[in-house]
Amino acid sequence: MPHTDRDIDTLARTIWGEARNQGRGGMIAVAWCIRNRVDMDLHDDGKPDWWGEGYTGVCRAPWQFSCWNKNDPNFPYLVSQKLIPAGQFMECREAALAAINSHEPDPTGGATHYYNPKAVSKTPAWVKGSTRTTQIGAHIFFKDVP
């Protein structure tokens, strides 16, 4: 799917909000999980999917990536109310480009969802019936989410 500078920036900010403490492997995994959503056409119908269209649409869809929720402590950084440290942002941007341009393979096995068990009070309901693909850092990845 074609992408814009805004898509790259939004994906990098999402990686920062979701995986900046997960090392390069964890950042690449989150980037690929997002790319898998962007690339997938649910129901093969050519219609917009519930989780958004394109990188910016997928990242910023309501309640999909918690860092974009207005009550999340990362949100002020993502909307430039606070400054993301330049070195951290560049690492996230490099991870974003590595996934977008397929410079690194998908380490998630086609995952479209993940969660961090230490960051939630209970296992998300969507896990039931999903296929666990891998764990990278603190995130557990899933595909075939009902």
**Residue 38 predicted with pLDDT over 60:** yes
Residue 54 lies in a domain: yes
User: Is pLDDT above 90 for 42?
Assistant: no
The CATH number assigned to the domain holding 63 equals 1.10.10.2520
**Residue 129 within a domain:** no
Range of the domain at 75: 5-108
Q: What is the pTM of this model?
A: 0.93
Residue 79 lies in a domain: yes
pLDDT tens, residue by residue, 2-36: 789 999 999 999 999 999 999 999 999 999 999 99
- Is there a domain that residue 57 lies in? yes
Please check whether residue 25 lies inside any domain of the structure.
Answer: yes
Q: Count up the domains in the chain and report the number.
A: 1
| Coil, helix or strand at residue 112 | coil
